[in-house]
Amino acid sequence: MSALNYFVSAGRRMVTMDSVRWAFRCSSWTPSPTEWLFAARCVQREEKERIGQFVFAKDAKLAMAGRLLLRKLIWERMGISWDQIRLERTAKGKPFLANPPSSTEVCRWSFNVSHQGDFAVLAAEQGWQVGVDVMKTTMPGSSSVSEFFRIMRRQFTEHEWMTVRAAGPEWTQLDLFHRHWALKESFIKAMGTGLGFDLQRVEFHISPAQMQEGQVYRGTRMLLDCEEEEDWVFEECLLDKHHHVAVALGRPSSNAADDDRPAFPHESPSTFTVLSFSDLVSGASPLTEEDASYWESFRKKQEAPTRQSTSPQ
């Protein structure tokens, strides 16, 4: 991460930093009653109710972690007290801060979360549109890889399918498919366009062909409607050997002169920091009273649906 500058104001910690990349491994989190009830008290009431409606514990944990990541970012990086944070969603589902202060620095922040597989992730940036997506490579649940690709045929361009199919064994092809999918989703989420966007309009030329854990890459290029987009940067990394993360960074739409636009993102891409539960709720303060029935409901949930192996045998 880039250097941080700290100062204290009105009992709150304020951090100036232009880039944040956080991850939380939900699959390793087996909440105690105290942890789950405290987490539930630290999110907005409607968020708590929505999380409680998930059938499986895995999905509830992912959603809870995503909301806590957002609130931690806003408290720790923007200096807004926990009880003053009000998060809402756009019509297309992108989260935003509903009551931002007038501070120019705060208003320049863009942030996004994603949760899938074993992780919830957050990416945030000042002066750039941000979208993030995490994808875990898994075998199709009820079909062969070839049938799965046939079903998904219209989501990729001919060039992308050629890249996927040239990758070698089926599992490697599937892994590359999920890498492309994360890239497409990160772009859509940065734009805030929702599910109606035609994915064939965007085409990715990935680089490098293979990634290594612990490295962040910026070599992938995107074509939009057959034209290369120079105002978009894509960061890619592996959280582990099965989880791809893509972060889309785009210049915000503006009529301002080029000299007034944000500079190119930080030269050294930030790696994702994996947080513990203690990290996740550091600084959190309860918004509601404790509800013991919320734990009882969570405790009865099955962890996840039964499905095929997530890796090749």
pTM: predicted TM-score of the whole model, two decimal places: 0.88
Q: Which fold has domain 14-285?
A: Ribosomal Protein L22; Chain A (3.90.470)
**Domain residues of the chain, as ranges?**
14-285
**Mean pLDDT of the 50-54 span:** 97
Q: Give residues with Cβ within 8 angstroms of 123, minimum separation 6.
A: 20, 21, 111, 112, 130, 131, 132, 247
DSSP-derived 3-state class of residue 27: helix
* Of 257 and 31, the one with more pLDDT: 31
Share of the chain above pLDDT 70, in %: 86
Predicted pLDDT of residue 8: 30
Predicted pLDDT of residue 252: 76
Would you say residue 282 has pLDDT above 50? yes
| Cα distance between residue 4 and residue 6, in whole Å | 6
Query: Tens digit of pLDDT for each residue in 119-167?
Result: 999 999 998 999 999 999 999 987 899 999 999 999 999 999 999 999 9
Predicted pLDDT of residue 120: 98
Predicted pLDDT of residue 192: 85
291 within 8 A of 37, measured Cβ to Cβ:
yes
Query: Tens digit of pLDDT for each residue in 200-210?
Result: 999 999 999 99
Sole residue written with tokens 């997530």: 310
Predicted pLDDT of residue 48: 97
Q: Give residues with Cβ within 8 angstroms of 85, minimum separation 6.
A: 71, 74, 75, 97, 99
**Mean pLDDT of the 166-193 span:** 95
Share of the chain above pLDDT 90, in %: 73
Predicted pLDDT of residue 270: 85
Query: Tens digit of pLDDT for each residue in 183-226?
Result: 999 999 999 876 678 899 999 999 999 999 999 999 999 999 99
As beta bridge partners, residue 171 has none
How many helices and strands (H and E) does the chain possess?
Answer: 9, 14
For the chain, give the mean pLDDT: 87
Predicted pLDDT of residue 266: 63
Task: Give the gyration radius of the chain's Cα atoms.
Answer: 20
